[in-house]
Amino acid sequence: MDRNPKAVTAFILSFFGLLFSDLLLFSQTADEIFTSVSGAIVVVEAYDFGGEKSTQGSGVILKDKNILITNFHIFAGNEKLVLKHMDKEIKFSEIVGLSIDKDVLILKLEDGDFPQVKIGTTVTLKAGNKVYAIGSPMGMENTITEGLIGGFRKFEDKKNDIEYIQISAGLSPGSSGGAVLNSEGELIGISTMGFKEGQNLNFAIKIEDVLNVDLGVYSDKVKLESINLFFKGKKLYEDANYEASLEYFDKFLKLVPNDAICLNFRGLTYMQLKEYEKALKDFNQSSKIDIDYLAPVINRADINYKMENYEQAIKDYSKIMSKFPELVGPVYSRGLAYMQQQDWTEAVKDFTKVIKMDKGYIQAYLNRGISYYYNHDYSEAITDWKKAKNLDPSMAPTLNEWIDKADYFMSN
């Protein structure tokens, strides 16, 4: 069949023109995204009980829901919030949602004219996808930064079930609670924290976690007073002022006696003060109140280990491992607990798991070597200690003695 070259060329251009047009519908430039959503990104100011401005962050208005979402830590320990956009105050009627664990605060807005921010999903996100962050770093309102998704992370020290989005888009103090958007301009999360030691090593809370926060009215002064008591105690705990933090946790628990999170923090405080029995009691109560809350289980495991309750510690570490199979810490700690029970075979199994997860884990090689040694597997012990010595040559004097002993028993 004869073909008209001009017609074919026209068809190809038309086809690719349509394809290019479709791509433009799904992907926007940074300035297009900024223009479409910046009117819904506001400054959030928190004022303490003396009326002084204490902290400043950012927030995102969801027009269709008539709410503002932000980080709870901006409000924590303060009395009043003020919302602003381009020096114009935005009125809100009440707090309708909060999650201390997720660090989410939701406010009910009064009427206002704001652009509609499209809600996206994190289900299809992948490392390497482009993202944009819009907030008010250092009070510089409506600042946009661009970056990539670096991965998805859970943090053992956070002791919650939340998986954060790691982003390279620049964040600074004041960015917290701002919008994190995909290349289509859809809201996929709110910025929450960054590592000071890292270069653009920042994180966002997934939008699904934000919108899954239960909504209710928190205008009750008793509720707000109790929340502030908790966060004053938490701040004192973080400042290592443990005796003072206990006072605030006790006051909070008189108002809210069955709060799993506060019981866990009071347990941590007792733990720092070496009042282990009181700490254990709080961790047990916390885990009974909320069976899905793993923080008290993690802390209970550590304290049982300190108190030489190794059997219970092993049970707790096993529970943590079943929930967070990717975490190295609980596996290593369970291996140490097995060592204390002189169950060398199980200890070897756990340290082997650790090494598979992290081939540079020096202490795992060291302790697996010790476990092999006491299990009379001298050749395996020597191999592990030589590996540890190669990873850290400063350990050579001590390890050479152990290697000589193992070599002697192996030869005799």
User: With 90 as the cut, is the pLDDT of residue 257 above it?
Assistant: no
Given a contact cutoff of 8 angstroms between Cβ atoms, the answer to whether 96 and 218 are in contact is: yes
Q: Could you give all domains of the chain from N- to C-terminal order, each with its CATH number?
A: 27-219 (2.40.10.120), 221-411 (1.25.40.10)
User: With 80 as the cut, is the pLDDT of residue 222 above it?
Assistant: no
| pLDDT band, very low/low/confident/very high, at 175 (cuts 50, 70, 90) | confident
Percent of the chain with pLDDT over 90: 46
Look at the block and give the residue holding tokens 């709110």: 190
Write the CA distances from 47 to 76, 81, 255, integer angstroms: 10, 6, 23
Give the start-end residues of each E strand in 11-91.
41-47, 53-62, 67-70, 80-85, 88-90
Higher pLDDT pick, 292 / 403? 403
β-partners of residue 88 are: 85
**Rounded distance between C-alpha atoms, residue 312 and residue 301, angstroms:** 7
Per-residue pLDDT tens for 223-242?
A: 667 777 888 888 789 889 99
Buried b (16+ CB within 10 A) or exposed e, 272-296: eeebbeebbebbebbbebbeebbbb
pLDDT winner (highest mean) among 112-121, 166-175, 396-405: 396-405
User: With 90 as the cut, is the pLDDT of residue 20 above it?
Assistant: no
**Rounded distance between C-alpha atoms, residue 42 and residue 30, angstroms:** 18
For residue 202, the model assigns a pLDDT of 86
